[in-house]
Amino acid sequence: MENLIFSLNVVLPLFFAVVIGYILKKLGFFSEEFLNKGDKLAFKILIPFQLFRSIYTADFSASYNSTLLIFCIVALILTGVLSTLFALCVRKDNAVRGALAQGMFRGNIILIGASLISSMYNEEGLAAISIVSAFLIPILNIMCVILLSIFDPQRKGVDFKGILINIITNPLVIAGVLGLIVNISQINFPQFMEKTISDIAGIATTFALILLGGSFEFSDMRGRVADVIYSVVGKLIVFPALCMVAAYMLGMRGMEFSVVMCVFSAPTTVSGYTMAKMMNSDAQLSALSVVFSTLFSAFTLFLFIYISKTLGII
C-alpha cells in the first residue's frame, strides 16, 4: 500500500495539471493560437532547458555501471525497433504509426523514473539513474526524430538528408548533446545563470501538461480506443516486463534491477506530444498516450515494485 500511495503522489500531480489545462480551455482562457504558440515555446525553449539541466547536473563520478548503461541503451533501441515494427503491422496511416510507436517506448525518465528510484535508494539511486538518463535521453530523442521523420505524412519516401537536418536542428537533441558536453567538460555556471536555467527548467513539465490539457478533447477518443490501448499496454506492461525479465536473466538485482524497472516502466513523456505536434505526427494520439499512460502508471508501477519486492529481486 505504501508503494501505491507513493506512486499516486508522483503521478497524480501530473494528471491534475492536464485536468487544469482542460478546465481552463473550457473556461475560455486558451485560444487555439495561444495553444499553438505555447506548444512551440515548450518544444523549443522550456523542455530543452529542462533536458539540458538534468543532463549537465548528472554526477558521472558516482555509481557508474557500464553493464547497466549498455543494457539500458540496447534495450531502448530494441524497444524502439519493436514498437516501430508493431506500428507498421497494425496501422497504415504514417502519422498514426509514428505517434503510436513513440508512445510505446518514449518514457518520462527524468520526472517519474528519477522520483521512484530516489524514494527507493535515496541519493545513490538518483545518481545511478542520472548517469543512465544522461546517455539515454539524447539517444531517445534522436530515435524519435528519425521515427517521426520517416513517418512524416508530408514527406515522400525516406529523405536521409531531411532526417539528418531534423536531428541536427531538433531543440531536444541539441539540448541533450550540449548537456553532455558541459557535464564532461566540467563547466561551472555562475550562480545567477544556474538559477535562471533552473527556474526555466522548473516550469517546463507543468506548462507542457497544462497545454496538453487545453488541447485535449474527449471526442479525440472516438475511434482511437485500440490505438490508446496498444500504446498504454506496450509502454506500461509489455516492454517493461520484457526488459525486467532480461535484466533478471543477466543477473541484475537490487538497485541495478530497480533502475531498469524505473527507466522502462515510466509513462509516456509530455515532450513526445510536443514533438509529435511539431513534426506533423498524430498529436491527438500522442496526447491520449500521455494522459492515459500517466493515469494508469501509478497502478502498474505499484504492481512491478510489489512483485519485485515479494520475489526478493529488489
Contacts of 136 (CB under 8 A, 6+ apart): 72, 73, 76, 109, 263
Whether 252 shows a pLDDT value over 90: the answer reads yes
Fold classification of 2-304 (topology level):
Na+/H+ antiporter like fold (1.20.1530)
Q: Which burial class, exposed, middle or buried, applies to 45 when counting CB atoms under 10 A from its CB (0-12, 13-18, 19+)?
A: middle
Contacts of 77 (CB under 8 A, 6+ apart): 139, 143
Enumerate helices (H) and strands (E) in the chain, giving the number of each: 15, 0
Contacts of 281 (CB under 8 A, 6+ apart): 95, 98, 99, 102, 148, 151, 152, 275
Cell of 64: 557508474
Tens-place pLDDT, residues 162-208: 788 888 888 988 998 898 899 888 888 999 999 999 999 888 888 98
Q: Per-domain residue ranges for the chain?
A: 2-304
Confidence (pLDDT) at 1: 67
Confidence (pLDDT) at 227: 96
Average pLDDT, the chain: 89
- Backbone angle region of 221, left / alpha / beta, with phi > 0 → left and psi within -120 to 50 → alpha: alpha
Longest Cα pair distance anywhere in the chain, in angstroms?
55
Tens-place pLDDT, residues 42-68: 989 998 998 898 888 877 766 678 899
pLDDT mean over 6-25: 84
Whether 157 shows a pLDDT value over 70: the answer reads no
pLDDT mean over 199-226: 87
Whether 155 shows a pLDDT value over 80: the answer reads no
φ and ψ of 29, to 5 deg: -75, -25
User: How does 193-232 read in b/e, with b if 16+ C-beta sit within 10 Å?
Assistant: eeeebeebbeebbbbbbbbbbbbbeeebeeebeebbebbb
Confidence (pLDDT) at 105: 95
The CA distance from 221 to 80, in Å, is 25
| Number of CB atoms found within 10 A of residue 72's CB | 25
| Amino acid (one-letter) located at 168 | I
Length of the chain: 314
| Number of CB atoms found within 10 A of residue 187's CB | 9
